[in-house]
Homo-oligomer: A and B are copies of this chain.
Amino acid sequence: MNIAAPNIENAGPFTRACGWHKLLPNKIVEMAKKIKKLGQDDPRRIIHSLKVGLALTLVSLFYYIQPLYVRIGENSIWAVMTVILVFEFSVGATLGKGLNRMLATLSAGALGVGVHYLATLSGEKGEPIVLGFFVAMIAATVTFVRFFPTIKARYDYGLLIFILTFSLVSVSGYREDKVLHMAYQRVSTIIMGSLIAIVTCICIRPVWIGEELQNLIANNIEKLGNFLQGFGSEFFKISEDRQPLSDIAFVQGYKNLVTSKNNEETMANLARWEMWHYRFGLFHPWKQYVKVGTLTRQCANKIEALNNYLNSEIQTLNEFGRKIQEPSTKICSESGKALRELASAVKTMNQPTSVNAHIENSKTAIENLKFMLDTYHLEDADLQEIIPSAEVALTLIDVVPCIVKIADAVQELASLAHFKTPATRVSP
């Protein structure tokens, strides 16, 4: 390639064109592959794009069909705009934007009409001054309110639309006599547009962000459990043909776990808008999911230390390692089982049943491990050799309280969200 490239550059325009001619198909193929991958990674993206197209076609019918156009007229442009701006990937985001937009337009429209009448009272000269004062003041105030983190999380779009509608109604009201009519038309077309977007989003293959969040949290807990179980059986395996741990599947899964806190909080905020989801209902405790997610991340950070030993060159266990092997493996497998059951509890919305038993087992194993560490005699031992195994042991002792915290948080979630009690088997 290094030889071919200068050839093209130094060649005449015709040869160069031939060169590009050869390169261009490659570029196109590459691009096509990227597009295909984007669709294959998550086919819902293609469906979402088609849904947007459909919703737009529906809303443009207001223009194409004469009787509809006569009724609503030019203002249907607001409905078209609303569909484009409100339609989002998930139901929660679409509902959030739609409701925000409708409420904000309604309240700002009313305020705009009020200010318009107030301004007309102050005479022809005074009118633009009063209008200008109110527009600047209300825009500045609402812009400042948008900085409140709790308000920003849920109502940011609504506040923006509030400024927008208020300015439009009161400013353009200066040149328009039928302000009330204008405000009414704007509100009604925006409600129509929002409803079209919301209905299309919910009725055709909806993406519920609440379900996404639930799966994300459950999968993260499960990955942690898989990692612990896998680590326990691999690190203390006494064999010479052990493969480097970093290649093994459970380690790769664990590395994908580090999701950002912001992401989960955004999802929880959006999920709150999905008030009519058949499984979650109106008062689902979304905040508790964020709490479970945070605890899972803290636990993952603790376990991160174990990662350091995955690539270590110790291929066989020394005497000390063999000594602590049994309780350490027990801790790993029992707490791994506890985590996996917690994950399945979150996913299926069933009360976890045997988690406490697994946690008790790992606590017993911790006591055994501590006793061994206390009574181990250090003579003849090499410090550099002992440290890794000892550190693994201390980390494991640290990890179990973390898992207890996750279990408590999931239990709280189970009672807040009324998880089902699995049917107990009755002997016939």
A→B interface (CB under 8 Å): 34-35, 38-39, 45-46, 48-50, 52-54, 56-57, 60, 63-64, 69, 74, 77, 80-81, 84-85, 128, 131-132, 135-137, 139-141, 143-144, 147-148, 160, 163-164, 167-168, 171-172, 174-175, 260-263, 301, 304-305, 308, 373-374, 376, 378-379, 381-384, 386-387, 390-391, 394, 398
Contact = CB atoms under 8 A, between A and B. Distances in A.
Given A56-B163, A387-B390, 7 more contacts: A56-B136, A56-B139, A63-B174, A64-B131, A262-B262, A376-B383, A378-B383
B84 A167 contact: yes
A144 B391 contact: no
A314 to B, nearest CB: 14
A171 B63 contact: yes
9 contacts: A39-B144, A49-B140, A52-B140, A64-B131, A64-B132, A80-B167, A81-B168, A84-B167, A387-B391
Contacts of A387: 387, 390-391, 394
Contacts of A390: 383, 387
Contacts of A301: 301, 304
> DSSP majority for the A interface?
helix
Given A378-B378, A379-B379, A128 B84 contact: no
A383 B373 contact: yes
Pairs of residues from A and B, 8 with the lowest C-beta to C-beta distance, nearest first: A53-B140, A53-B136, A64-B128, A49-B144, A49-B143, A49-B140, A378-B378, A52-B143
Contacts of A383: 373-374, 376, 378, 386, 390
Nearest to A170: B60
Contacts of A262: 260, 262-263
A171 B60 contact: yes
Contact of A80 (B49, B168, B378): B168
A54 B39 CA distance: 45
Given A57-B135, A175-B74, A381 B384 contact: no
